[in-house]
């Protein structure tokens, strides 16, 4: 009987992270207010979905987009190293959730460089999946996330 209970608890604990990543886009839109000091969400035709800053890249189409690929944006060395080491890697919802939670450990993991630096110092402490669900709504490639590059976890 105890084994059955432990097995059930183990199965539930493994299933929870998958469920936890399901975000609510409507809640994420509100939560994105914390992000708009640095980021905007602007469609290619110039339509502002969320007016915001230009310190960070435009996040329209970020889910499914290649890492560090917004033309004309000056990325930091750490994220450029990720893009260089993983030229086919795109932003998956899972990677974005991990990145916005704390960018530095994500960069360290993806580059293998414990000294990797990020220009993004903000850490989103909660509702990450909601924000990413909101961004996925404005990403035409969100359902077509590419397979991870060899040696890259996606």
- Give the C-alpha separation, 94 to 41, whole Å: 19
Query: Which residue from 89, 82, 43 is spatially nearest to 64, judged by alpha carbons?
Result: 89
CA distances from 70 to 11, 65, 138 (A): 40, 9, 15
Q: Which residues pair with 42 in a beta bridge?
A: 48
CB atoms within 10 A of CB 103: 22
The pLDDT of residue 141: 72
Average the pLDDT over 95-113 and give the result.
Answer: 96
Do residues 38 and 147 lie in contact, with contact meaning Cβ atoms separated by under 8 Å?
no
Please write the tens of the pLDDT for every residue from 69-82. Answer: 999 999 999 999 99
7 band by pLDDT with thresholds 50, 70 and 90: very low
Whole-model pTM? Answer: 0.77
């Amino acid at each position: 009987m105890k084994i059955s209970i432990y097995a059930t608890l183990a199965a539930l604990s493994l299933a929870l992270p998958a469920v936890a990543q399901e975000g609510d886009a409507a809640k994420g839109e509100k939560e994105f207010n914390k992000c708009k000091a640095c980021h905007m969400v602007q469609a290619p035709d110039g339509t502002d979905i969320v007016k915001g800053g230009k310190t960070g890249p435009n996040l329209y189409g970020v889910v499914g987009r290649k890492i560090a690929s917004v033309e004309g944006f000056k990325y930091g060395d750490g994220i450029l190293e990720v893009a260089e080491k993983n030229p086919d890697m795109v932003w998956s919802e899972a990677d974005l959730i991990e990145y916005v939670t704390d960018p530095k450990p994500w960069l360290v993991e993806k580059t293998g460089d414990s000294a990797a630096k990020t220009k993004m110092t903000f850490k989103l402490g909660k509702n990450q999946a909601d924000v990413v669900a909101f961004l996925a709504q404005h990403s035409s490639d969100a359902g077509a996330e590419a397979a991870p590059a060899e040696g890259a976890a996606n």
